[in-house]
Amino acid sequence: MDCTYRTNRFNMPLFNIVGVTGMNTTIHIAQVFLIEEKEHDFLWALRQLEHLLSQQGIPPPQVFLTDRDLALLNALEEVFPDTPALLCLWHIMKDVQAHVRRVSFPREIDPDTSLLQDSGDHQTFC
């Protein structure tokens, strides 16, 4: 789940929620325009999602992936307290690259970060 950054004609964040099926395909679950990206906005949207899932007899998600937006993480903790929220690997790797580039040369770190990112397990990484 993530918000677009006001790239629509309404100049509002668009909160996108997608899922991954057991066959590893992405499915669209919901999207909603938010007034802002504040905790109370995410709370409202997530409560609507929780209500919809409950109404349809669909169990809550097993895990959430986010970009570390604290407002969203707080709202997830309140609405879905039993569902872990993990950080998106793409965002983690962007942060790693940004921080490492301050102390290293980009050519030296790019192969290493792709090795880390593309490793499916410990054996592949080592």
pLDDT one-digit tens code per residue, 58-107:
999 999 999 889 999 999 999 999 999 998 877 777 777 777 766 655 55
Helix (H) or strand (E) holding 14: strand 14-20
Label the pairing between strands 26-33 and 2-3: unpaired
**Confidence check: pLDDT of 20 > 80:** yes
CA angle, corner 18, sides to 90 and 120, nearest 5? 40
Average pLDDT, the chain: 85
Q: What are phi and psi of 106, to 5 degrees?
A: -55, -40
Which residues, in sequence order, are CB contacts of 4 under 8 Å at separation 6+?
A: 13, 14, 16
Helix (H) or strand (E) holding 19: strand 14-20
Beta bridge partners of 31: 16
**Confidence check: pLDDT of 19 > 60:** yes
More confident residue, 74 or 24: 74
